[in-house]
Amino acid sequence: MSSLRGKVAIVGAADTRVGVVPDRTATELCIESILLALADAGIGKDEVDGLVTCNSMAQPMLYHAEAIAEYLAITPRYCFAAGAGGGTTFSVLHHAASAIVTGMAEVVVIAMADSLRSGLSRDQAMLMQSSTGHPQYEQPYGPTVPAYYALIAQAHMARYGTRPEHFAEIAVACRAHAARNPAAQMREPITVDDVLNSRMIADPLHLLDCSLVSDGGAAIILTSAERARDFRQSPVYVLGVGEGHGHEHISQAQDLTVSAARESGQRAYAMSGLRPTDMDFAQLYDCFTPTVLVELEDLGFCAKGEGGAFVSEAGIGPAGQLPVNTHGGLLSHCHPGNPGSMFALTESVWQLRHTAGERQVANARYGLLHAQGGIMSSHSTLILSREEG
């Protein structure tokens, strides 16, 4: 079977400001991230012949990628906008990689941005939160997105004895990483008690168990491994990719404590020839704290049901056995909606370049990235390396 292993590399990466950015629209943030990534790669926009974006919730466009190309005044031969929730970032990366390997494009920009904090009113945001469920089996009961993730937390607690303190430790660890990141939206250290004493949102999830609402954008530049050697920055190679899809609506999930991260992870490991124990860090989608715990288990970093103990004993903070979300994650760095996992991707590039400053993971060689869209529905896993093979 043909494989993408080691055939493409990331040669440019950049983030915009994140948090509250009222002086930029979602489109302006997207354009800014692209220009910054091009500068990082040391190339001009006319060298780009592929463009992939995802639509904005605050400023949607019917043909988003084509509109962004128009703003940039480029005419790429490969151009599309995708939508798979938070997992979009990693799904589109392997599509772009395939385009490069098959000759559809040579230099592809992947860029995503949104303005959920400044670009939506409170009523618009609440409407978005309450309209995600199944129109017949979920929406009539009035749950919002946090309530769906609370179901996952309750199921894990009931089956494995997981405690709210375990979820809280995930938020604490992400904040500890963010405290080392000058770009993070929230940098003030927090404790388990701070999490448990914050306002209840959906039992057992408190306010600090929930991700931020943010503005921000990020972009990367992808090209072939052969061409990557000629760029300004040290290449970061794609070694493994995988997807897994279990359901669309949470009411149709076969098991609330098991996700399709298991399948996406297995496929990425198989392509890369690596194992969980080879990873120097992991960037795991943390829209709510229970997702990290389930992902740690399903991606093979610990046994099923032992996620709580892994977080408490092995640790996922800066001094932990497995540093997770070294930029602060969606819980503390930023979460502008669908583009949220882009920041895990740019952070991983800097970690593998060994340019992450105070938060640098020592001798980082391999990193695993995982994102999911919907309510633990659509899963994508990436394995990146600073080495080609």
Q: What is the pLDDT of residues 336-382, one digit of tens each?
A: 998 999 999 999 999 999 999 999 999 999 999 999 988 999 999 99
Q: Which residue has the tokens 């004895």?
A: 161
* pLDDT for residue 125: 64
How many Å apart are CA 22 and CA 43, to the nearest integer? 29
Position 85 confidence tier, pLDDT thresholds 50, 70, 90: confident
% residues pLDDT > 70 (the chain): 97
Distance (Å, whole) CA 343 – CA 211? 14
Average pLDDT over residues 22-26: 96
Pairing of strands 8-15, 215-224: antiparallel
Residue 167 reports pLDDT greater than 70: yes
Between CA 22 and CA 31, with CA 26 as vertex, the angle to 5 degrees is: 115
5 within 8 A of 239, measured Cβ to Cβ: yes
Pairing of strands 236-245, 378-385: antiparallel
Closest CA to 175 of 198, 153, 150, 203: 198
Quick one: pLDDT at residue 128? Answer: 63
Answering whether pTM is above 0.85, one says yes
All domains of the chain in start order, with CATH: 8-120+214-236 (3.40.47.10), 144-213+241-262+272-385 (3.40.47.10)
Mean pLDDT, all residues of the chain: 94
pLDDT exceeds 70 at position 129: no
Neighbours of 268 (CB within 10 A): 27
* Tokens describing residue 66: 């084509």
How far apart, in Å, do the first and last CA atoms of the chain sit?
A: 18
Residue 188 has pLDDT above 70, yes or no: yes
- Pick the more confident residue, 87 or 153: 153
What is the reported pLDDT for 120?
75
Which residues pair with residue 82 across a beta bridge? 54
The span from the CA of 11 to the CA of 9, in Å, is 6
The residues with which 383 forms a beta bridge, in sequence order, are 240, 368
CA distance 68 to 243: 27
pLDDT in the model for residue 127: 63
Residue 53 tokens, joined: 């974006």
| pLDDT score of 87 | 79
pLDDT band at 70, cuts 50/70/90? very high
What pLDDT score does 104 carry?
Answer: 97
pLDDT at 266 over 70: yes
